[in-house]
Chains A and B, each alone.
Chain A
Amino acid sequence: MSASHSVGVGAQQIAQSPSVLRALGVGSCVVVALYDRKRAIGGLAHLPLPSREGRREQPEQFVDSGLELLLRRLGERGCELADLEVKAAGGATLLASSNGCSATSIAPSNVAALRATLTRLGLDLAGEDLGGQSARSVELDTRTGELRIATLRRDLSVL
């Protein structure tokens, strides 16, 4: 039986197989999953804001610093960069302004920050479900590395 861990907004968690890491109700946030198939260990970060530059809040709150922190923590568990599969989901714009203009959302900035950080770190996405206009619930299965994504509007998808 696998353990289940909830990963809230601005939090991140690492777990060994067999376990499931779950982020529920992901809208403009970006969720990044890192998985080391050799060691059967995975990490999930639920990142609400794009860049820590000039900010003093915890690094887990930001796409750039949060991703770096998760990489570092997995490194401390013996994972090597070359063994990590990177997948991401989220970055949806959910709110519409009633005057016909699209409401300001931080979602595009979060997705842009993710791509910039991955480029800077030399990492590629093995799978992604980013953008759009529907919230997602995301879970990483550390037995398989599958990232399962549910919305209220379409069938479950698996990356």
Chain B
Amino acid sequence: MSSPAERLQEYASISAGHAANALAGFFDQVVLMDPPSCRWLRLDDIPSSVFRPDEWIAAVFADLSGPAPGQLGMLLEREVAVEVLRRMVGSEPGRHLDAAQASALAELGNIALSAAAGALAALYQTVVVPSVPRVGYDMAGALMVDALHSRIARLPAYLMEAELADRAGRLRARFVWVPEP
């Protein structure tokens, strides 16, 4: 019999696997290298332990509603976001995302986060509804706080890292899941 914490970690790993596979399926000839790694952290430690607080990243967040509420996020290093946008819309972002780039990132986030939400729904045997995604392209610490401002207290968060690859190279995606206590 697993403990509640072990069960949550297992759910996080499974949902990240679904999210990463959805991303891989979106791109042609891209595969998921290994099952995503998963660890839990304090939510407010993620910017400093994974990124520098002022590191430039792209992020997509969605709120989860239903009987298992929480928040999900997809975090991409800037270089990964640039590569993803080059593949999706044929342009690279400068200091700002243009409308097409923001829309493309939102769509990509929606695909990944909806897959993760679907996996959580199956695991909890309930309905999990993700909100319209919110997109940001700025400093990691600022984006995390802005997205999760009501939950910046010492909540546990699950951080999942997945590596995708094709002949052209590798892309690392990170997902964060913050279940409501």
Q: Which residues of A contact B (CB under 8 A)?
A: 8-10, 24-29, 48-49, 57, 61, 92-99, 101, 103, 105-107, 134-137, 150, 152-153
The CA-CA distance from A134 to B134 in the complex, in Å, is 15
The CA-CA distance from A26 to B132 in the complex, in Å, is 24
Contact partners of A48 in chain B: CB under 8 A = 145, 149, 152
Per DSSP, chain A at the interface is loop
Contacts A25-B52, A25-B54, A106-B149 known; list 7 others, CB within 8 Å: A48-B152, A92-B142, A94-B146, A96-B134, A97-B134, A134-B138, A135-B138
User: In the complex where A98-B134, A153-B96 touch, is A25 in contact with B141 (Cβ < 8 A)?
Assistant: yes
The CA-CA distance from A26 to B47 in the complex, in Å, is 12
Contact partners of B76 in chain A: CB under 8 A = none
Asked if B103 contacts A98 (CB within 8 A), the reply is yes
Determine the residue in chain A with the shortest Cβ distance to B138: A135
Contact partners of B150 in chain A: CB under 8 A = 106
B137-155 CB mask vs A (1 if < 8 Å, else 0) is: 0111111011101101100
Asked if B95 contacts A95 (CB within 8 A), the reply is no
Asked if B95 contacts A152 (CB within 8 A), the reply is yes
Contact partners of A92 in chain B: CB under 8 A = 142, 146
The CA-CA distance from A10 to B143 in the complex, in Å, is 15
Task: Indicate the member of A28, A94, A97 with the most B CB atoms within 10 Å.
Answer: A94
Contact partners of B143 in chain A: CB under 8 A = 27, 94-95, 135
Contact partners of B55 in chain A: CB under 8 A = 25
Q: Which residues of B contact A (CB under 8 A)?
A: 44, 47-48, 52-56, 61, 95-96, 102-103, 106-107, 110, 132-136, 138-143, 145-147, 149-150, 152-153
Asked if B153 contacts A57 (CB within 8 A), the reply is yes
Asked if B138 contacts A9 (CB within 8 A), the reply is no
Q: How many residue pairs bridge A and B at CB < 8 Å?
A: 104
Please give me the 5 A-B residue pairs with the lowest Cβ-Cβ distance, nearest first: A25-B141, A27-B142, A98-B106, A135-B142, A25-B53
Task: Indicate the member of B55, B96, B149 with the most A CB atoms within 10 Å.
Answer: B149
Asked if A96 contacts B95 (CB within 8 A), the reply is no
User: In the complex where A24-B53, A48-B149 touch, is A98 in contact with B142 (Cβ < 8 A)?
Assistant: no
The smallest C-beta distance from B109 to any residue of chain A, in angstroms, reads 8
Kindly identify which residue among A9, A93, A134, A152 contacts B145, using a CB–CB cutoff of 8 Å.
Answer: A9
Asked if A24 contacts B54 (CB within 8 A), the reply is yes
The smallest C-beta distance from B85 to any residue of chain A, in angstroms, reads 15
Contact partners of A96 in chain B: CB under 8 A = 102, 134-136
The CA-CA distance from A19 to B138 in the complex, in Å, is 27
Determine the residue in chain A with the shortest Cβ distance to B149: A106
Asked if B149 contacts A28 (CB within 8 A), the reply is yes
Determine the residue in chain B with the shortest Cβ distance to A26: B142
The smallest C-beta distance from B155 to any residue of chain A, in angstroms, reads 12
